[in-house]
A and B are shown apart, each in its own frame.
Chain A
Amino acid sequence: MTDDDGKFRDPKALEPELVPDAEDMAIPTPATEEYSPRRFLALQSQLGGFVGPLLTTALAFLMGGLVVLLTGKNPLSVYKAVWNGTGLSWFFHVGNHHINLPLVGRTWFWWDTGSLAAGNLQQTLLITTPIILTGLAVAFAFRCGMFNIGGQGQYFAGAYLAIWVGTSFAGMNHVLHVVCCIVAGSLAGAAYAGIAGILKATVGAHEVISTIMLNWTAIWVGAYLFGQGGPLQNSTQPSIPISNDIVEGARLKVFWGDPLLQGLSVGIFIAILMLVVYWIVINRTTLGFEVRAVGFNPEAARYGGISVARNYFLAMAIAGLFAGLGGAVDILGWQYRLGETDVHANTIGFIGLAAALLGRNTAIGVGAAGLLFGALLNGTSGRQLDPTIFRPDLAGNLTTIIQGLVVLFVGLNLTTIVRRRHK
């Protein structure tokens, strides 16, 4: 997916369907206006939008099932248990229940908000939130022709700032404190990704290399901050390499479930809102127009009067904004603290990367893929999966296997392979 000058392009731009005018190619794909291939192309790209990712996911689950089979377990029952663990089954248990709405009070409701499945669903959505936000970080940069591998580091930058602001300023107004944490976290992510953007725009440093390096920098900065004797390390227990908890006033409201048992915070709405913001910025603003033009063809963008360097920087910074927001929301929504080991173990940014790839960098795609990975991650976690059906320690690996296969198949681009058979 990298061409001669080393720039990363949207793979869509390379798909044969979009370059049927092949008079400059050695082996031309025939296309004449008379035969109107456009209807065919339009149909294919419409289908390709859904069929590709669905095919990819199905194949990954199929192969994951084979792995389960190798361990001597029944893949169907394992997947069923995973499904139950995700809590998504909650939507299918319809009955006569009640809900307490603000202002309205006790109201009749379709679903049982207090069931076990509801608890599972809260967990799933809690994990989905940062996956969507880091996914958007990858997707936005991708639209500008850059591969942002640094979602993880940008997520940390946001999380660190949220910890710092959230553990300080006790007694501040609740809403103000939350907003401060979120703004600080987002800007930290933007600034952090902006470093890679500036390097790309000015000296042409490849963003894949610089963002990977910045990931490691962020991890070790975290190890320093929360490690023993670090500036943000716990002030009451100097032997534990964990930060202080953020103050009550800086926490996001938990609107569903028990706040003490990681109920669902309003962070999920922030993620959904950001999906909408992403769609608007990309499709309905001049900034998005420039970003997409640069992403598809920097030379044509430059010819059109667009500053390519400026867009590289801006796109990277905005990408970092999303990831930084993800880090902040995670801290404010349910983690409340961060330890040295968390910093080393957290891979949410990379799951976000997989979600962006599977979701083809569209708002809907990233949202759906984020939910898929969030559900998978939660459904196979030791807490959710029934150990008599599948060993939970293996289940975690099953998630990684499916995730890896998805990324692999996205790289292979299954629809293109299917199409090529028609040559």
Chain B
Amino acid sequence: MAEAPLLELRNITKQFPGVLANDHVNFDLRQGEVHALLGENGAGKSTLMNILYGLYTPDEGEILLHGNPIDLGSTKAAIEHGIGMVHQHFMLIPVMTVAENIVLASEPRHAAVLLDYDAARKRVREISERYGLAVDPDARVERITVGQQQRVEILKALYRGAEILILDEPTAVLTPQEAQELFEIIRSLKEQGKSIIFISHKLNEVLEIADRITTLRRGKVVDTVPAAGATEEGLARMMVGREVLLRVDKKPAQPGEPLLEVEDLSVVDDRGLEAVRGVSLTVRGGEIVGLAGVDANGQSELIDAITGLRPARSGRVRVGGKDITNASSREAIDTGVGHIPEDRHRRGLVLPFTLAENLALHDYRKEPESKHGFLFPSRMVEKARRLLREFDVRGGTPLTPAGALSGGNQQKVVLAREIDVDPRVLVAAQPTRGLDVGAIEFVHRRLVEQRDAGRAVFLVSLELEEILSLSDRILVIYEGRIVGEFPPTATEEELGFAMTGGRREEAA
């Protein structure tokens, strides 16, 4: 294609204190294409897009639209130039209806002050029909699914006249089915002449949907390549800067004694509703059992009940034969339950604590970390130094606050702590959430190592790919019940079907 690009970013440089987030980045977008922006966390993707959306001002470089330089001092200016952004975290008002959310900030009005709701609804319906984005304009945003909320965000951008759409990690919150639906929407938008920037760090998605792919690493553009002909391995190498093992390499499992036994467990959630309904499962030493499911189907409550963070209403939890039903979290830890929590910021780490303190979070009461209630910080540091080396944690010394590390390294710290207590059962909840390819590889390798060391690994994840590549057996949870057990040879479609409630009696 020889035609002039619709949008061009030239030599964009953005310096943050201590970090060169964008280093002379060149990026262009053609009319009617999907251009993927690929890179690890912290590679500078979001900074670049925030510059394009007027949230940051670049230190250097210029932005050209239709060949003319434009000044994007604010998001308002960006919107006026036809640039729309769908953030990873939706910016919707939950108590308002879909139509109200979409027209917000440029509402059709009666008498200059009152919202003309009928006109708003009509406009929303028009746009949603034109682009094939089915939504109910009168539904309240808090009552619709995440996938539908994303559509509302896209509609909001279109309503404001967006010709260029920036989608920031749009599939991060979606189920595989919803992701496919999103791709349909993206294709239909493309046909209507919209141009799309698709930000992701998932290689398969980028290959599926994009026309061209630009890879960023450490703030610099590595290369821009056409999607046709690109491979996952090649893209991963560009992203990380070295060869990456995408497939998990593992020997066949050698299951031993049952170490984690859950029997007819029922747990209520924070609202007092039954979230886990009579779940029974067994994880043996030397195997990884994966629990697949759409978010909020009882996984969190199940994990909490196993790890002593939430009482069970009924049923039993046994670890190595010892009953730990309704034990405290300290008892669970002491019985040998390691727990990689799903949210390392909320639970896994005390961010302002140093790495040494975080690594001592479970055994600060024991020798050698403390004696008679007095801490020995130097011993904590000593232990931290050893663990940081063993787990290849970079970007910090034992005295660095955990919050100063990148996500991947933070997760390594959590992993180090949980493995160091020598658990019999390791509960890994979304262990690679938000991590980039290199860190995912590391975490996966460590989990398989734990399995091979004879520990029982219970893996809970929303990523089917992760479940499929790591697990020796797969359980599917739906509405608090185990609805199926699958071998690791199952397909994503089979699992996806069970995850959304299509029950099948499958033999393992």
Interface residues of A (CB under 8 A from B): 10, 12-13, 18-21, 23-42, 45, 283-289, 292-293, 296-297, 299-307, 422-423
Contact = CB atoms under 8 A, between A and B. Distances in A.
B11 interface: no
Interface string B252-263: 000000000000
Interface string B1-31: 0000000000000001111110000000000
A285 B352 contact: no
21 contacts: A10-B352, A13-B351, A18-B403, A21-B406, A24-B434, A27-B50, A28-B47, A28-B50, A30-B21, A30-B42, A34-B218, A38-B395, A285-B370, A285-B373, A285-B375, A287-B373, A296-B350, A299-B347, A300-B346, A305-B329, A307-B328
Interface of B: 16-21, 41-44, 46-47, 50, 55-56, 87-89, 91, 218, 307, 309, 328-330, 333, 339, 341, 345-353, 357, 360-362, 364-365, 370, 373-375, 377, 394-396, 400-401, 403-407, 409-410, 434
A41 B404 contact: yes
Q: Counting chain B CB atoms within 10 Å of each CB, which of A30, A34, A40 scores highest? A: A30
A299 B346 contact: yes
A24 B345 contact: yes
Which 4 A-B pairs have CB atoms at the shortest separation, nearest pair first? A33-B395, A305-B330, A40-B18, A32-B42
A341 to B, nearest CB: 44
A382 to B, nearest CB: 44
A307 B365 CA distance: 13
Contacts of A284: 374-375, 377
A298 to B, nearest CB: 10
Nearest to B375: A284
A33 B373 contact: no
Contact of A300 (B42, B43, B361, B370): B361
A19 B404 CA distance: 6
A26 B364 contact: no
A30 B44 contact: yes
B58 to A, nearest CB: 12
A345 to B, nearest CB: 39
A136 B319 CA distance: 44
Given A26-B91, A289-B364, A19 B351 contact: yes
B407 A30 contact: no
B16 A29 contact: yes
Given A26-B87, A289-B364, A31 B47 contact: no
A302 B329 contact: yes
Contacts of B309: 302-303
Contacts of A306: 330
B407 A305 contact: no
B407 A21 contact: yes
A260 to B, nearest CB: 44
Nearest to B41: A23
B135 to A, nearest CB: 22
B404 A32 contact: no
Contact of B410 (A21, A28, A423): A21
Q: Counting chain B CB atoms within 10 Å of each CB, which of A19, A40, A304 scores highest? A: A304
A289 to B, nearest CB: 5
A23 B88 CA distance: 10
Given A300-B349, A305-B330, A289 B357 contact: yes
Q: Counting chain A CB atoms within 10 Å of each CB, which of B17, B339, B362 scores highest? A: B17
A300 B348 contact: yes
